[in-house]
Amino acid sequence: MENQNKAAVENALTNYFNALNESDVNTAVGSYTPDGVFMAAGAPTAIGRAQLVTAYEYLFKAIQLTVNVTLDEVIIKDDISFVRTHSNGTTLIHATGETIPAENREFFLLRKEKGEWKIARYLFNQPT
């Protein structure tokens, strides 16, 4: 069961990062629990579906991500999972047309709801 849960957690995050790379608001927001929280570096905290939609619409209007994610640590306890990742790739800034390197480290808390792993809390920052 543990390997099955780990694979499901990894799949949930792969789907989320695919949504980021595709600028897919619905899939990105659908990756969260209804009370999900997104804490982006330098941006207001988005709590719940309505604020998540606003945050991701704003994000995808401003930039296009092309990143790969690596899962560094997955801890599962009952219906909660803590996941530490890092990602790298590029960010296209729509306003200027400039493409810059993208490198982040991320922390996710996922919760299993109705048999599916969903992001309950997510924050990221850039390594120094």
How crowded is residue 48: how many other Cβ atoms within 10 Å of its Cβ?
Answer: 14
Q: Are 84 and 72 in contact (CB under 8 A)?
A: yes
Which of the four CATH numbers 3.40.50.2300, 3.10.450.50, 3.90.1150.10, 3.40.50.1980 does domain 2-125 have?
Answer: 3.10.450.50
Residue 50 has what pLDDT?
Answer: 98
For 57, how many CA atoms within 13 A lie in the half-sphere containing its CB?
Answer: 6
* Residue 123 reports pLDDT greater than 70: yes
Q: Are 36 and 119 in contact (CB under 8 A)?
A: yes
Q: How would you class 26 by CB atoms within 10 Å of its CB: exposed for 0-12, middle for 13-18, buried for 19 or more?
A: exposed
Residue 1 has what pLDDT?
Answer: 67
Q: Where along the chain do its domains lie?
A: 2-125
pTM of the model: 0.94
Question: What are the tens digits of pLDDT across the range 28-76?
Answer: 999 999 999 999 988 899 999 999 999 999 999 999 999 999 999 999 9
Residue predicted with more confidence, 2 or 3: 3
Question: What are the tens digits of pLDDT across the range 75-115?
Answer: 999 999 999 999 999 999 999 999 999 999 999 999 999 99
